[in-house]
Amino acid sequence: MKMKLTRSSGNVFADLGFPPEEAEHLKIRSDLMIELCKAIKARGFKQADAAKMLGVTQPRISDLFQGKIDLFSIDTLVDMLAHAGVRVKLVIGTSKRKLKVA
């Protein structure tokens, strides 16, 4: 049996069929969540320690590590990263999509 492979677009959410705008928001939030989890793990913090450092509750940190993306806004994640001493840098580029003129 032959398997058909499809090359990724670079955004798993777009590949799963989310509308382009929503896929971009989800990718940004997931990237921020991943970096925040890395920062917490790098310090060797337990969830309670991380919660204290970030000024949130321990269940909020649990939600973060469980990947509950729908519970976190981009603003909240940027604030949490700032509390963790992580600098967030925005890079803007053009998409491969062509703009349609009406």
- pLDDT value for 2: 87
Reported as a single tens digit per residue, the pLDDT across 61-102 is 999 999 999 999 999 999 999 999 999 998 888 766 655 665
Domain ranges of the chain: 17-83
CATH topology of domain 17-83: 434 Repressor (Amino-terminal Domain) (1.10.260)
Q: What is the pTM of this model?
A: 0.83
Contact 17, 26 (CB under 8 A): no
Considering the chain, what percentage of its residues have pLDDT values greater than 70?
92
- pLDDT value for 98: 59
